[in-house]
Amino acid sequence: MKTAELEKYKHKLMGLIPPERIVKVEFTRPSREIIEAFMELDGLTPTVSDVLDSMGIKGAISASRLSPIITGKKIVGPAVTIRYIPESNTPDHGYYNMERAKLADRDVYAVADKGDVAVFDAAALGDVSVMGGLSTLVAKQWGMAGNIVDGGVRDVDTVRKLDYPVWSTGQTPITGKYRVEAMEINGPISIAGVRVNPGDLIIADDSGVVVVPGTKAEEVLEKTIAATKREDEVVRLFESGASIEEITSILPPSKW
């Protein structure tokens, strides 16, 4: 990562992670038109999950693994990533020596574009949080679309009060301060066994989360729109009292 590439973010960066650990800040993102077209669709993650299956792409994560803190939310946006590992020292050592905490969530927001989704790889930390109320405030203020946290989140009441979309694997009061270390921003990560690269399209709703490779976003959108139209037509035919023959000519029962 060249220091010159960070210049335009200098006014927002808080120096929470060494610059050499920020792998990249410039990468290809799906277009705004693609993102808005996905947002217009209902029943989004189940349909996209089916499309990814048909393309041989592993990308779906159920809400039982990554649950929305606020139900009824839907987000679509390019991924920016952060990877955490456990601290080597104990928390009391950090507090006693007044060491600097090694959380870097606000720096991942700093190098993001408006509408990006922050994706946290922190599953190895168990019940330790990697974002809380202040993190939520900064993310919302700087225009993030939402957060996907394979790890713990605290200050859940603040998350809800700020009405900010977050999906997580756990809710906890335990701070990550002196317990976790940010190793890398905008490198490849893994959440719930699914790989995420910066610029991949993140889609999340009450059913769960799907990760669409950035290079496949347009193709997945086309297939998702086609699948949605077929399902809508089946519903219309059922409600109009059409025959089974008419209905199955649109969508065979084996594909329902």
Annotated binding-site residues for Mg(2+) read 155
CB 191 within 8 A of CB 81: no
List residues forming the annotated binding site for substrate. Answer: 154
Binding residues: 154-155
> Which residue is associated with the tokens 């992670």?
17
Q: How far apart are CA 156 and CA 58, in angstroms?
A: 30
Question: Taking a C-beta distance cutoff of 8 angstroms, is the pair 115, 200 a contact?
Answer: no
Cβ-count burial 76-112 (b if 16+ within 10 Å, e if not):
bbbbbbbbbeebeeeeeebeeeeeebbbbbbbbbbbb
Do residues 212 and 69 touch, judged by C-beta distance below 8 A? no
